[in-house]
Amino acid sequence: MRWMLMVVMAVSLAACNGASDLKDAPVPLGNFNLVHNIVVAPKAYKGPLSRKASEEQLTTTLQAAIAERFDRYEGSKRYHFGVSVEGYVLAQPGVPLVLSPKSILIINVTVWDDAAGKKLNDEPKQITVLESFGSGTLVGSGYTLSAQEQLKNLSQNAAKSIERYLVQQRDEQGWFKDDV
């Protein structure tokens, strides 16, 4: 009985992936169109016991996840993202059910308004994401996923977190509204 409950919970949690909603209509942001999606990682800190990822892997994987999420927006006002990868941990195999290391990605995000020619956020927004539940994370993603698969999962979660941040800023600061 417990085994069945664990299987049901694992399947339910698998839907928590940052890309699980991409087949749905995008979350309303307002008048938003992402033009430049710039990701850099010149000083990305590799956390303790992490698998290695190259600067190119970090930037291209995150850039692809951001494009996958934000290329769906077709507003007339142009915006740009400047994203820097600050640190990461890509979990290695641990001891199942005792030590199951989790993967982490830390990024800084700056949003630029093209028409105004300035940043919308004076200070970069730091976002920290963890790997999604499911995909074998009960025993540690280091056992079930390659480093690249872990990085893709983290990048999709980061893109979703950026979207949540933009929705919050739209509501609190009036970002992405038409000029009146």
Establish if 145 belongs to a structural domain: yes
Establish if 163 belongs to a structural domain: yes
What local confidence, expressed as pLDDT, does residue 101 receive? 74
Establish if 124 belongs to a structural domain: yes
- Domains in the chain, number: 1
Q: Give the distance, in angstroms, between the CA of residue 149 and the centroid of all CA atoms in the same chain.
A: 13
Establish if 133 belongs to a structural domain: yes
Please tell me which residue, 18 or 165, carries the higher pLDDT value: 165
Establish if 178 belongs to a structural domain: no
Q: Is the pLDDT of residue 94 over 90?
A: no
pTM: 0.84
Return the CATH number at 68: 3.30.160
Establish if 22 belongs to a structural domain: yes
Each residue's pLDDT tens digit, 44-89: 999 988 999 999 999 999 999 999 999 999 999 999 999 999 999 9
Each residue's pLDDT tens digit, 152-171: 999 999 999 999 999 999 99
Establish if 116 belongs to a structural domain: yes
* Domain span at 100: 2-173
Establish if 179 belongs to a structural domain: no
Please tell me which residue, 54 or 6, carries the higher pLDDT value: 54
What local confidence, expressed as pLDDT, does residue 138 receive? 52
Residue 111 Cα distances to 10, 68, 118, angstroms: 36, 17, 9
Backbone angles phi, psi at 33, to 5 degrees: -145, 115
**Residue 95 β-bridge partners:** 99
CA angle 67, 71, 76 (to 5 degrees): 140
